[in-house]
Amino acid sequence: MGYDLKNKNVKGFWWKRFFYNVTGANLDYEVGPNWFASVMGTGIIANAAASLPLFSNILSEFSLVIWCLASLMLIGLVLATSSSLFRQQNAWTRHFRDPMMAQFYGAPPMAALTVAGGALLVGQNLIGRDFALEIAWSLWIIGTIGGFCSAVIIPYRLFTTFTVRPDSACGGWLMPVVPPMVSATIGAMLVPYAPEGVMRETLFYLCFSQFGLSLLAALIIISMIWSRLAHHGTSGTSRVPTLWIVLGPLGQSMTAAGILGTVAKGAVPAEIARGFELFAVFYSVPIFGFVILWTCLAILLTLRAHQRNMKFALTYWAFTFPVGTCVTGTAQLAHHTGLPLFAWASVLFFIGLLAAWVVAAFGTTRGMITGLLFRPPSASTGPIISVKESEKS
């Protein structure tokens, strides 16, 4: 690390001076909403490990440790950002005005919802069922409200305020519309704990409506991403990892459909519950096929970008959460069909999730030590332009 990366002009407590001297960060240390993707990517490991149809018992202690880590990360990021939110110029304000970074306002609600799911799946083994339920309900309410706001406000600004290029559509556009799908999943897990009768049935249908809200919006955006890739190509930059976000609404919708099919029996009339149980399979199997297709395409495009010296950015966390949702979604298919194909497919996705987390965590840790991740992007940074091979020659 060069001497020019140091910041020795900071005054305050010794620990603050030490932090800024080592990292070279400035007072507005750029902990924006995109940082919450690290909580999503970490927490989904715990949820995925607990959901595996194979080896979940062996991984129970591992998943508990990971959930505790994700919970601490969530608390730490909330504390780190709360002190800077009231500044006139802070990372959150700048991101809200930026057409690319504003999309990541969907990350904080999903981080809260991911930790809520972990509280139900593994947290109760440490803190008890009642306390775990209190945490899950609280975070689900916060995440649901925040996720709905992001799904409305950010697309509205995209439609009315942001200036975008014809080749701007990317996986990041999915971030604000995916939280309702995560909320549908965690809400479905809470359905059995809701009071019987109207309250439980209302919660069930509310979750299913969020499923539709997120799915239809995601399908539109995925079509735009495919069109952009076909017409303009890929940028080969650190925006490429966001292509993995496409797997997020797909895998999460499989998870939501599976859990809704499981809990429907105690929430809605029997004939309707049977329909939801069948829907879990009829919907998820075709989606699983497209998940395999997009996974192959994303791997090839990522390798292509890596060969062109793609630099590390927090977008690398896009490798984690979406793959984790494929683990949980495929695990639900294994649960409803009983087929070894889906059971072992979920294990393969889980191995990929662990590898992706190691890459993202290592790069983030290195970026924090050098301070590069804490500083705002260069003012001279131009728009990201997608280019095809034929256009280079």
At 387 the pLDDT is 64
How would you label 183-202 residue by residue, b for 16+ Cβ within 10 Å and e otherwise? Answer: bbbbbbbbbeebeeeeebbe
Domains of the chain by residue range: 1-30, 31-377
pLDDT of residue 92: 75
CATH of span 31-377: 1.50.10.150
Helix/strand/coil for 227? helix
What pLDDT was estimated at residue 86?
64
Residue 120 DSSP class? I
pLDDT at 234: 82
Show Cβ contacts of residue 123 under 8 Å, excluding neighbours closer than 6 positions.
Answer: 64, 67, 71, 132, 135, 136
pLDDT at 155: 96
Contact criterion met (CB below 8 Å) for 91 and 28: yes
Residue 320 CA to residue 299 CA, distance in Å, equals: 13
Q: Dump pLDDT digits (tens) for 145-201.
A: 999 999 999 999 999 999 888 888 889 999 999 999 999 999 999 999 999 999 999
pLDDT confidence of residue 27? 47
Mean pLDDT of successive 10-residue stretches along the chain, which has 393 residues: 44 47 50 88 96 92 96 91 66 81 93 96 94 97 97 95 87 95 97 96 97 97 94 79 94 97 95 96 97 96 86 85 96 96 97 94 81 56 59 45
Coil, strand or helix at 160: helix
